[in-house]
Amino acid sequence: MNNGRKHIVFLARWYPHRYDPMFGLFVQRHAEAAALYNDISVVYVHPDDTITQKFDISTENASIDAIHHISTIRVYYKKPKSKFLSLIRFFKANKLALKQLPKPDLIHVHILTRLGIIALWQKMVHGTPYIITEHWSRYLPGNDFSGFFRKWATKIVVRNASVVTTVTENLANAMQSHGLMNPNYMTLPNVVDTNLFQIKPHENTIPKIIHISCFEDKSKNISGLLEALKILKDKNIAYQAVLIGDGMDFEAMKQKAAYLQLNDRVTFTGMLQGQKLADELASGDFLVISSNYENMPVVILEAFACGLPVASTDVGGIAEIVDNSNGLLIPPRETDLLAEIIQTMLTLYKDYDANTLRDIIIKKFSNEAVGKLLNSLYSNTLSH
């Protein structure tokens, strides 16, 4: 340890990389918060068919990482055709990265199961304790958490962790329903950059609805949102909707909007990042989430940081943060109800106090708040 700062290694299954700067951004936000009080090293491994050698150790984004006092090792590996050999190469890539780092005081695993196996091995061989943060919604009803070996290995990994954290109580309950037992489950909030996402006073002549997602329709239900917006248009209710993001169903959703004759009401921005994303979100009047299943969308927290209320489906852990004081909830897969809740919010959004919405985020979800929580978690784990 250095002046009380502990060396924590993040083993991250999802993390921003050279092909997708948004992938696993919430894990990077946790690393940045933790780095306020500790020395953080991040190991991230990614398959890459464009490289010629087996492994490519990269230092891209090094200057950005340095600003946040994070040492990041990204290892890209040539993916074999065999799934088994690919798995072996994944483990070798992580081992290669870990060898370049000083011995950690603690390992923080983000997303199971493979990285949990590596952390368990490090604990058995080197005595390094580990904690887990799970973000994945695969444990929730209707998703695919199956396979004998996967479940068996995950149970062992979870049982031997010092602490298991999830971003919602709902996800923790779902994990335990699969027999993933540990006496020390706790909720670890996602992080919101409150310096980036801020209130920006504005007055839209026509109410502006914001939706942000990865445009994967099965889970995010953008098609249902468009159908709800069509219902409102047919009632001659005034609104403009801005749909932010990109993904596998982006073009299909644009075509659906055209088919529903919504091109005069709905704008697709594509992917927005950083200040452009924050500015567009803050220019809206409220956020709409239409997901069929979800864990805890960070965009809800970002909307609150910008002073926007939220109209959302009641799925995953959303009800743990959205209530009558900051938004409206309905059951999923109900297009008519989605239209009704949007119509209601169009009349109510001005009644919410923007500063009150933002204060909640600063107190619980800011870098400083989550950084202190992580530091306490690391200290308590290492003192036992």
**Same domain assignment for residues 377 and 280:** no
Q: Is the pLDDT reported for residue 253 higher than 90?
A: yes
Task: Give the tens place of pLDDT for each residue, 191-247.
Answer: 999 999 999 999 999 999 999 999 999 999 999 999 999 999 999 999 999 999 999
Please give the structure tokens belonging to residue 8.
């924590």
**Same domain assignment for residues 177 and 36:** yes
**Same domain assignment for residues 237 and 374:** no
Q: Is the pLDDT reported for residue 162 higher than 90?
A: yes
Is the peptide bond between 113 and the residue preceding it cis, with omega within 30 degrees of 0? Answer: yes
**Same domain assignment for residues 372 and 357:** no
Task: Give the tens place of pLDDT for each residue, 86-106.
Answer: 999 999 999 999 999 999 999
Q: At 359, which amino acid appears?
A: D
* Mean local confidence (pLDDT), 169-181: 94
Please report the pLDDT score of residue 230 as a whole number.
98
**Same domain assignment for residues 255 and 297:** yes
**Same domain assignment for residues 222 and 182:** no
**Same domain assignment for residues 359 and 374:** no
In a domain, 222, yes or no: yes
In a domain, 2, yes or no: no
Q: What is the 3-state secondary structure (H, E, C) of 146-188?
A: CCHHHHHHHHHHHHCCCEEEECCHHHHHHHHHCCCCCCCEEEC
Task: Give the CATH number, domain containing residue 227.
Answer: 3.40.50.2000
pLDDT over 70 for what percent of the chain? 97
Q: Is the pLDDT reported for residue 63 higher than 70?
A: no
In a domain, 374, yes or no: yes
User: What torsion, rounded to 10 degrees, do the Cα atoms 361, 363, 366, 372 define?
Assistant: -150
In a domain, 39, yes or no: yes
Task: Give the tens place of pLDDT for each residue, 300-342.
Answer: 999 999 999 999 999 988 999 999 999 999 999 999 999 999 9
Close Cβ partners of 298 (under 8 Å, ≥ 6 residues apart): 25, 26, 29, 190, 192
* Mean local confidence (pLDDT), 332-359: 97
* Mean local confidence (pLDDT), 13-32: 90
CB 26 within 8 A of CB 34: no
Domain span holding position 295: 208-363
In a domain, 197, yes or no: no
Rounded to whole angstroms, how far apart are CA atoms 38 and 41? Answer: 10
